[in-house]
Chains A and B, each alone.
Chain A
Amino acid sequence: MSMPSAMTQPPIPQAAERENYLNKEYGAWSWLFTTDHKRIALLYLISITFFFFIGGFFALLIRLELLTPAGDLVQADTYNKLFTMHGMVMVFFFLIPSIPAVLGNFLVPLMIGAKDLAFPKINLFSWYLYIIGGVMMMHCMLTGGVDTGWTFYAPFSTNFTNTKIVEAGLAIFVAGFSSILTGLNFVVTIHRMRAPGMTWSRLPLFIWAHYATSIIQLLGTPVIAVTIVLVAAERALHLGIFDPKLGGDPVLFQHLFWFYSHPAVYIMILPAMGVVTEIIACFSRKRIFGYSFVAFSSIAIAVFGFLVWAHHMFVAGISVYSALVFSFLSYAVALPSAIKVFNWTATLYKGSIHYDAPMLYAFGFLGLFTIGGLTGLFLAALGIDVHVTDTYFVVAHFHYIMVGGAVMGYLGGMHFWWPKISGRLYPEGWARLAALIVFIGFNLTFFPQFLLGYMGMPRRYYDYSHMPEFQVLNVLSTAGATVLGVGYLLPMVYFLWSMRYGKPASDNPWNAAGLEWKTTSPPTTFNFDEEPVVTWEAYNYEELDAPHKEEVPVAR
């Protein structure tokens, strides 16, 4: 296998003639009714990219408004809708599906040596559910939107707002089922469809990460589903479940909401961690340091992640004793993430490190996730949280993890597996530039927000004319956001460009370990010519780089 240089590679026509999942059938019907996990992954790719740019557009408007202290770009209600829709779209329609629905769908069967997921039709159905939810959300936004914040706390959301809560709630409910079905598919597939010899301890850590993610999707999402049902029922019928005037308790809403929404953030980060593990191993040319620890830390994050939800509620009126318990558990959940960071760092030691674009994204992830995670320690400290909760400190913290972490992981993964997905190489120079722009833009956007938060700027404020001293940092943040936007547009452009003009990729341009690289780029519809039989450990870079083979992956 592996790595002819561009000069000795066969000319383009021959590669394109070979049948693969992309050219097997043409026409909208063959895509809209496909059950091929790889095509479904691409359907998701298009849809989530669309929502990413919608959510990003809202973010741009938010940052533009915050350039000046006065509320002068949009009206207050409009601004409130902007940050709400930004949050809802980004969380439910971009971040939660992103890596699992695109990279997970594409790679899980390939990595375990299966021909498809366990339930291909359910996989297609989950995409349709996502689309239906997405259409509902778009309609909701276009006909007025929602202004409760993505957290839609009661009693504001149940009794005091006139915006379209029920419609948005239903959209999220439907999209939530998409998420549940994806998780269901992955769990059953990983349990039952591994190729002979692919034992649990030989699984790529990407699979472990997606397994843990799926557990969370399965057990957590139904709780927000039922919460949405209760909110809708209360709005429609004034039931009083969350209304104190009728004997209800608004804090109960918060418990139910955060019981899902905290584990949800682990749905967003665990897959990115899986991606980063694969990339670091490949571009250091060695097995990941501490395989079992990394695998079990994924599971630990999933488990502990369900036990910390009330750390979002330290000032909500819970008892001091509850707060103590949740603070303690929040430190417990931080530990497995720290362990991963150390293991990734240790993997670099005595590696043979290449600086290709995926690796640059992985480095970016290491830096930004570390900062994001460490600031979580601030928030878990009760005494500090009282001051910084509901301020821009929290906003900065979660964007470091979700954007600096999850989105970087997603982009790194898209670059790493792009040759496999599309059969083409992306332009490496542009990709490295984009990674750098994203890194710089990101830090410029969100680091000032830590300072703003500690200085006391609350969240969800569109007018800070009482505190003009906050303007300088806000301007910096907006400047960063524009740079970041450019960094995100670039890959869109060159990925599309590469589909037509990119150099054709060989089966394994990175000389990477993993079953997905043992088949063609792009793969055929049924993935493998023959069912693989696995007799080697994961990350067998020693073999791959053995002396008699060409040593360095030369993909260009």
Chain B
Amino acid sequence: MHDNSTVAVHDPALLHHFAEPQQQRDAASLGMWVFLATEVMFFGGLFCAYLVYRRWYFGDFAAASKSINMWLGATNTAVLICSSLTVVLAVWAAQTARRTLLIGSLVLTMLLGFAFLGIKGIEYRDKFVEHHVPGASFSFEHEEIPGHPGQYANPQHAQIFFSLYFVMTGLHALHMIIGLGIFLWLLIMAWKGRFTPEWHTPIEIGGLYWHFVDIVWIYLFPLLYLIDRHK
């Protein structure tokens, strides 16, 4: 038909519309960075809403923040940071043709990701039991505002905190689940030996995505869990 490859050696991984592998890699990398920029804007809208209400209802937000489990949140932070380390290891392993390390790192990353989701599940269940889930059965009476003994948080404002808490961490968790799906696919491809030092773009851009999800959590943790904790 219409084959316009005049290149003598055609890398099997090179897609037909690219002139050379470097171009293809650059395109994939730029594509993922651009996509992450859109994700920043997506979460950014939520952060804006959060910042507005935190400023208005600081005391109520502090009281609500106190009621979520800081230790579980901190553990999750550590879990994600470790998972970013395993991702970096995976990329290095792919770059240096270390198959075992690659597969091991990918598996570890996924395990850490599942651990994160598991801990999140425990937190959500706790909130459900304490009636802190916004909606008909929400209740937040007689919760003291940190640093203001005798003053109690306004339940309506606390509900706004929890609304934002669930939407923000929920969307984050959704991104984690998608990330786990991506990494499962990477794991399968790695198991089949598809990645070489010359071509392992999916690992790199999958890694970028995972790092981004990690960074979002790094922002979420202090904003949600650590309001006025020193009081």
Contact = CB atoms under 8 A, between A and B. Distances in A.
Report whether chain A binds chain B: yes
B109 interface: no
Contacts of B160: 239-241, 246-248
Given A19-B2, A192-B27, A222-B45, A241 B38 contact: no
B167 A230 contact: yes
Given A193-B27, A233-B163, A238-B135, A115 B17 contact: yes
A112 interface: no
Contacts of A138: none
Interface of B: 1-2, 4, 6, 16-19, 23, 26-27, 30-31, 34-35, 37-39, 41-46, 48-49, 52-53, 57, 134-136, 154, 156-157, 159-160, 163-164, 167, 171
A235 B135 CA distance: 11
30 contacts: A19-B1, A109-B17, A115-B17, A116-B16, A118-B17, A118-B31, A119-B31, A188-B30, A188-B34, A191-B30, A192-B26, A219-B37, A222-B41, A222-B45, A225-B45, A226-B43, A227-B45, A229-B167, A230-B49, A233-B163, A237-B135, A241-B160, A246-B156, A247-B156, A249-B52, A256-B45, A259-B45, A526-B16, A526-B17, A530-B6
| Ranked 8 nearest A-B pairs via Cβ | A222-B42, A239-B163, A226-B45, A116-B17, A222-B41, A115-B17, A247-B156, A223-B45
Contact of B159 (A191, A246, A531): A246
B56 to A, nearest CB: 8
A310 interface: no
B2 to A, nearest CB: 6
A528 interface: yes
A219 B38 contact: yes
Contacts of A117: 17
B34 A237 contact: no
A220 B41 contact: yes
A221 B38 contact: yes
Contacts, number: 125
A180 B135 CA distance: 32
Interface string A99-122: 000000000010000111111100
A119 B29 CA distance: 12
A259 B48 CA distance: 11
A259 B6 CA distance: 48
Contacts of B46: 226, 230
B41 A223 contact: yes
B17 A184 contact: no
A135 interface: no
A233 B167 contact: yes
A178 interface: no
A513 B18 CA distance: 25
Given A120-B17, A241-B53, A247-B53, 4 more contacts: A115-B17, A116-B17, A188-B31, A230-B49
A524 interface: yes
B203 to A, nearest CB: 18
Given A222-B45, A226-B46, A229-B167, A118 B27 contact: yes
Contacts of B52: 249, 252
Contacts of A120: 17
Interface of A is mostly: helix
A17 to B, nearest CB: 15
Nearest to A531: B19
A192 B38 contact: no
A270 B163 CA distance: 38
Contacts of A230: 46, 49, 167
Contacts of A115: 4, 16-17
Contacts of B171: 229
A525 interface: yes
B13 to A, nearest CB: 15
Nearest to B162: A239
Interface in A239-270: 239-241, 246-249, 252, 255-256, 259
A187 interface: yes
B31 A524 contact: no
Given A118-B31, A188-B27, A192-B27, A218 B2 contact: no
B4 A530 contact: yes
Nearest to B31: A188
Contact of A240 (B16, B27, B43, B159): B159
A180 B38 contact: yes
